[in-house]
Amino acid sequence: MDLGSRPLEMRRTNKDSLNKNVSHNGVLTHLAIIMDGNGRWAESKSLPRLAGHRAGTENIRSIIEESAKHGIQHLTLFAFSTENWRRPSSEVEGIMNLLKNVINSETSPLHQKGVKISHIGSLEGLSKELKEAISYATNLTRNNKAICLNIAFNYGGRAEILEAAKKILTDDISVRDLDEKTFSSYLDTSGIPDPDLIIRTGGEMRLSNFLIWQSAYSEYYSTTKFWPDFKKRDLRKALDTYKQRTRRFGEISTG
Ligand code: IPE
Ligand code: IPE
Ligand code: MG
């Protein structure tokens, strides 16, 4: 590609695909959370790992409520990665069952609160019952406006990017027409702004294949608290920290 012949256009495209609130005044549109540490939480209490996953799912409702209270419009929760299939099958099956049960029990109360539920990731390999539960929840809540809850389940950033590239080739998108905006529209997160803040519980300092395209300019916050112990006040602390950050998107801070 002849980069030299299209500098202005490239510059505009790069900027358009980023959230443009350089001085963000604490505004946080999209919060994403890597809900890690369920296993260690359980182990620290001499409980089976699955008890940690159960406690983790029970924590979700209060975090959705607190997020909505702070005006967050999109909340993306990383619940199961494409790499988590490498775990023992008993744990994988247990997590699948938990998700199915939690969708079945929480969809109605979340619907009443105006939560729109979406799924990002692949449905491949999921049981018929789990796929039906996801489809029921997303269809029932599709017109809700209070907050968008995106469940990243069987999600991996590299797989998402690869799928997007394949669809772009299938659609015969020309090299001339392919820009960041078009590429983004082929991702599972199409229509969702990039995450402003990514919180990771459990203390690790890595993305583990989460939103790797979308997180280019996200702020990071890592806490050693395990996910089942991450409460509303912990979320408030993370949001306060975010407010102190200066986001520049490559520009020079204007004060
Ligand atoms: C996160 O908790 C949930 C999933 C990855 C499914 P973990 O199960 O990874 O908990 P730790 O990291 O082993 O403590
Ligand atoms: C990331 O946690 C995935 C989820 C929280 C769903 P992992 O526990 O799978 O990440 P690694 O293996 O420590 O990088
Ligand atoms: Mg983990």
CATH number at residue 150: 3.40.1180.10
Ligand 1 pocket member 225 (CB < 6 A): no
Pocket test for ligand 2, best of 95, 96, 158, 208 (most atoms within 8 A of CB): 208
pLDDT the model gives residue 8: 35
Of the candidates 87, 129, 138, which has an alpha carbon nearest to the alpha carbon of residue 110? 138
Q: What is the full per-residue pLDDT of the chain (255 aa) written as tens digits?
A: 333 333 333 333 444 445 444 446 778 999 999 999 999 999 999 999 999 999 999 999 999 999 999 999 999 999 999 999 999 999 999 999 999 999 999 999 999 999 999 999 999 999 999 999 999 999 999 999 999 999 999 999 999 999 999 999 999 999 999 999 999 999 999 999 999 999 999 999 999 999 999 999 999 999 999 999 999 999 999 999 999 999 999 999 765
pTM value > 0.85: yes
The answer to whether position 166 is within a domain reads: no
pLDDT the model gives residue 27: 86
Among the bound ligands, name the one nearest to the CA of residue 210.
2
Per the structure, the count of domains in the chain is 1
Ligand 2 pocket member 79 (CB < 6 A): yes
User: CA distances (Å), 99 to each of 51, 92, 152, 180, 227, in order?
Assistant: 13, 11, 11, 33, 16
The answer to whether position 108 is within a domain reads: yes
User: CA distances (Å), 94 to each of 33, 48, 206, 249, in order?
Assistant: 21, 11, 25, 41
Ligand 2 pocket member 81 (CB < 6 A): yes
The yes-or-no answer on residue 84 being catalytic is: yes
Residue nearest atom 3 in ligand 1 by C-alpha distance: 36
Ligand 2 pocket member 34 (CB < 6 A): yes
The answer to whether position 20 is within a domain reads: no
pLDDT the model gives residue 255: 56
pLDDT the model gives residue 7: 36
Residue 233 near residue 210, CB atoms below 8 Å = no
Ligand 1 pocket member 40 (CB < 6 A): yes
Number of the ligand 2 atom closest to the C-alpha atom of 80:
6
Q: CA-to-CA distance for 68 and 148, rounded, in angstroms?
A: 9
pLDDT the model gives residue 26: 74
pLDDT the model gives residue 129: 97
Number of the ligand 1 atom closest to the C-alpha atom of 53:
3
Residue 180 near residue 13, CB atoms below 8 Å = yes
The answer to whether position 210 is within a domain reads: yes
The answer to whether position 113 is within a domain reads: yes
Q: Any long-range contacts for 245-250 (C-beta under 8 Å, 24+ apart)?
A: 245/219, 246/23, 247/21, 247/22, 247/23, 247/24, 247/217, 247/219, 248/22, 249/15, 249/18, 249/19, 249/20, 249/22, 249/217
The answer to whether position 8 is within a domain reads: no
The answer to whether position 173 is within a domain reads: no
Q: Which domain holds residue 126?
A: 27-156+194-243
Q: CA-to-CA distance for 92 and 108, rounded, in angstroms?
A: 25
Residue 157 near residue 210, CB atoms below 8 Å = yes
Number of the ligand 2 atom closest to the C-alpha atom of 208:
14
pLDDT the model gives residue 96: 98
